[in-house]
């Protein structure tokens, strides 16, 4: 599958990853409004699953809206780097297009390496996915 990465997406990912520690909670949109991040104090399960529960993941994509939801306290307290945040933002975009974790990984990593980001964060991404899959089952 071919996914087109716009300058708008790359710039949005770069700006958010550079500034995430300084930003307040709220909604952030790319320059033309095509991409959105909800930077939240707490992430909750969807009301579709019954009683609302706190979700411990630092980042996810809302399946209904395709909006990236980021748990600010979890993200700030973790050891994620700017490059990891950048990679995760473009990965979230890929998953909304493919609905396939492996395909999204391949596409996002290819783009990440093409624009010469830090290769060390690839291992972190892989560990994050393994933990997420384990906790989801």
**Per-residue tens of pLDDT for the chain, all 137 residues:** 677 788 898 899 889 988 988 999 999 999 999 889 999 999 888 776 677 888 887 888 876 777 888 889 887 776 777 777 877 787 778 777 777 767 777 777 777 777 765 666 556 555 555 444 433 43
pTM for this structure? 0.72
Do 51 and 44 form a contact (C-beta atoms < 8 A)?
A: no
The 10 Å Cβ neighbour count of residue 122 is: 18
Q: What is the C-alpha to C-alpha distance for residues 100 and 120, in angstroms, rounded to an integer?
A: 23
Length of the chain: 137
DSSP SS3 for 114: helix
> Which pairs count as long-range contacts for 23-28, CB under 8 Å and 24+ apart, including other chains?
23/72, 25/72
């Amino acid at each position: 599958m071919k996914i087109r990465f716009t300058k708008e997406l790359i710039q949005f990912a770069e700006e958010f990853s550079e500034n995430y520690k300084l930003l307040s909670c709220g909604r952030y949109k790319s320059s033309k409004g095509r991409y959105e991040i909800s930077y939240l104090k707490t992430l909750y399960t969807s009301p579709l699953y019954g009683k609302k529960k706190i979700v411990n993941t630092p980042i996810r994509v809302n399946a209904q809206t395709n909006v990236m939801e980021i748990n600010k306290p979890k993200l700030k307290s973790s050891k994620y780097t700017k490059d990891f945040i950048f990679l995760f933002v473009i990965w979230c975009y890929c998953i909304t297009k493919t609905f396939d974790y492996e395909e999204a990984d391949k596409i996002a990593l290819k783009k990440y390496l093409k624009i010469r980001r830090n290769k060390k964060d690839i291992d972190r991404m892989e560990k994050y996915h393994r933990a997420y899959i384990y906790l989801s089952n």
